[in-house]
Structure 1
Amino acid sequence: MGSFFILRCFLLFFFFFNGAFVTKGNIWSRTEMVEMNGYGEQKLSSVIITGSLLCGTSRPNLHSIAIPGATVAIKCKTGSKRRSKWIKAVTDELGEFEIDLPSQLHPIPDLENACFIKPIYVPKPYRCYHTSTNIHKRIKLVSSTNGFRVYTSGKIRLSRS
């Protein structure tokens, strides 16, 4: 009974003020209150991981070929006994990928040693080394400004069979 009364009072308060809050004569909207308190839809930080996936050749005079449509994934040690889930991205027509790391992984100390990139799917036309899924590549910090960090795995080269 008591919780129903509290819920009803909250709903009446919410509908009466129509989502606005009054503080010292100022009326603040819900959006303004959320932003002032540091919550809200705007991210406080961003962590982007970039790289490229190439299919190399055994011949030194031939260049590596970009692998479009491949799937790469990143996994990070979270500090607990478990690792994070795989966060996946698909390479574009130039074999490049970009992963926006979820915000719960941003505070991991020393991301360079906590995270690794791994190719998990290579399209058949590229016929790269089949055990390429055993390749783990570390990331390196490229830039860090105003809560925006960019890491790269560099070029991940798979060898042709």
Structure 2
Amino acid sequence: MGSFFIIRCFLLLSFFLFTGAFGNNLWTRTEMVEMAGYGKQKLSSVVITGSLLCDTSRPHLHSIPIPGATVAIKCHTGSKRRSKWIKAVTDELGEFEIDLPSQLHAIPHLENTCFIKPVYVPRPYRCYNTSTNIHKPIKLVSSTNGFRVYTSGKIRLQGHSSRS
């Protein structure tokens, strides 16, 4: 046990001497923060995309995009603290994009721990006979150089819209 401690101390001391940490090359707080991945330059990005549509009961109209709706994503972090909903508003095509906060990037298997839910649909686009408990899973579609893209695909609300 004692020899393991001595070897560990020797390796740690060698690392500091080799990197110059005891000399004039001490790292500043800003440099330490950036090395840890919390600086201005992001080390990774996770984006979730999707669209919100209203499937109408009229056969000649397939699906109507729902602009101005609010969708939210929630990820179970595994801690006792409840995770917060991260919200986005759909554009004129009913599409949304959520940039996940960096503290959630390290969650393993995001596709098993995160889900999307529509939380608000504007009055003229209300789809009737819909369940408010729609939870749509996400799926990884791309991962390159620290940039991951997930999608919920098309979230379809059933019913008819007053816009149809």
Give the TM-score normalised by structure 1. 0.75
Residue in structure 2 matched with residue 15 of structure 1 by the alignment: none
Q: Secondary structure of 2:39's partner?
A: coil
Residue 129 of structure 1 and its aligned partner are, at CA, apart by 2.8
Residue in structure 2 matched with residue 155 of structure 1 by the alignment: 154
2:127 is aligned with 1:128: yes
Do the aligned partners of residues 63 and 84 (structure 1) sit closer, same or farther apart at CA in structure 2, a change above 3 Å counting? same
Do the aligned partners of residues 110 and 29 (structure 1) sit closer, same or farther apart at CA in structure 2, a change above 3 Å counting? closer
Residue in structure 2 matched with residue 95 of structure 1 by the alignment: 94
Q: Secondary structure of 1:133's partner?
A: coil
1:4-43 equivalences in 2 (<5 Å): 35=34, 39-43=38-42
Residue in structure 2 matched with residue 77 of structure 1 by the alignment: 76
Residue in structure 2 matched with residue 109 of structure 1 by the alignment: 108
Residue in structure 2 matched with residue 11 of structure 1 by the alignment: none
Letter in 2 for 1:63: H
User: What is the percentage of aligned positions where both structures have the same residue?
Assistant: 85
Letter in 1 for 2:125: Y
Cα separation, 2, equivalents of 1:68 and 1:44: 32
Contact residue 71 and residue 122 of structure 1 kept, 8 A: yes
Q: Secondary structure of 1:104's partner?
A: helix
CA RMSD of aligned residues (A): 2.5
Cα separation, 1, equivalents of 2:106 and 2:33: 22
Do the aligned partners of residues 55 and 63 (structure 1) sit closer, same or farther apart at CA in structure 2, a change above 3 Å counting? same
Do the aligned partners of residues 94 and 35 (structure 1) sit closer, same or farther apart at CA in structure 2, a change above 3 Å counting? same
Residue 143 of structure 1 and its aligned partner are, at CA, apart by 0.3
Q: Secondary structure of 1:134's partner?
A: coil
Mark the runs of 5 or more structure 1 residues left unpaired by the alignment.
Answer: 1-22
Letter in 2 for 1:100: D
Cα separation, 1, equivalents of 2:147 and 2:97: 14
| Cα shift readout 1:50-97 (whole Å, capped 9, x = no counterpart) | 000001113444220000000000001101234410000000000000
Letter in 2 for 1:67: I
1:131-142 equivalences in 2 (<5 Å): 131-142=130-141
Cα separation, 2, equivalents of 1:109 and 1:36: 21
Residue 38 of structure 1 and its aligned partner are, at CA, apart by 5.1
How many residues matched? Answer: 140
| Cα shift readout 1:98-120 (whole Å, capped 9, x = no counterpart) | 00011111111110010000000
Give the TM-score normalised by structure 2. 0.74
Do the aligned partners of residues 65 and 77 (structure 1) sit closer, same or farther apart at CA in structure 2, a change above 3 Å counting? same
